[in-house]
Amino acid sequence: MTKDLPLTEWDHPESKQLDSLSPLEIVHLMNRQDRLVVDAIERVADAVAEAISIVTDRLRRSGRLIYVGAGTSGRLGVLDASECPPTFSTPPEMVVGVIAGGNTALTRAIEGAEDDMDAAVADLEPLDIQPNDVLVGIATSGSTPYVVSAIRFAASRGAETIGIACTEGSMLAECAQHMICLLVGPEILSGSTRLKAGTATKMVLNMISTGAMVGLGKTYGNRMVDLKPTNAKLKRRSVRLVSDICGVDADIASELLAQCDGEVKTAIVVHLGKCNADAARDALAKSNGQLRRALEQFTAIVHEDTV
């Protein structure tokens, strides 16, 4: 297969007899290939870290993180965006996922959607993109017209733009202000970028959103203290977090949460800072939501071993 094609379309030398392999041989082959993903990300660690810093800065300025992609890339962006509100208690408009073809494309392919450059602009217009926003365009081939158009449109509105692709020298790299190239190599099923390319993309999106949320104070140590208890599992987790960090039993943790409208960070500050909910919220506001910094306002009471 010609090397003029994007790296994601190259023929993989180890899978030429893929249809002759046993299930176990397929598992071993895919597992060997998936190990390459970690190394590919490590090679662009600086670029991923830069993306985290950019996103954190924009979100601090009340901007938004907007993912745009088509097919698997679009679904991964929507998935990452949809997981931020329950995990980090973010408003749904803070992290947004846009997929070519709209919501229908989440479950089935929409013919020609990834090639429609005008649709990208039409889909982004209602978002009223502002200079404080950052748009992450995801296109494993680096050439998806819908994504390239979205990057150009966002840039024209003054937003920061980041591209994610699994090849080098792409059109996306020419348009995006910042680029993350995940060179995972050809897929064992030629062109099926839901495999290694999709895995690498998912891992990097995890890093970007998680890293940004850590920067925004959504965590304390390695605990998700800014979660929104929207179901029974998360309510139990909220109680466990307050119990563990404050060193109290579940009943007291539940009482603290009840006093604080279910806000985990507020409940922790109330107990460890020996203050009321309003004072706790004020301390958190002054600390830009950073629980550790809020607790430092009560240093006579709080000790490092509470985490």
Catalytically active residues, by annotation: 83, 114
Which pair of structure tokens corresponds to residue 216?
């925004």
Beta strands 65-69 and 134-138: pairing type? parallel
Residue with tokens 């090639």: 115
- In the numeric block, the tokens 């089935």 are attached to 108
Burial of 63 (0-12, 13-18, 19+ CB in 10 A): buried
CB atoms within 10 A of CB 233: 10
| Backbone dihedral angles phi then psi of residue 98, each to the nearest 5 degrees | -120, 125
- Backbone φ, ψ for residue 218 (5° rounding): -80, -5
Kindly give the residue spans of alpha helices, DSSP state H, lying in the chain. Answer: 23-43, 45-60, 71-88, 117-124, 145-156, 171-175, 196-215, 232-246, 250-259, 264-273, 277-286, 291-295
Q: What is the DSSP letter of 97?
A: E
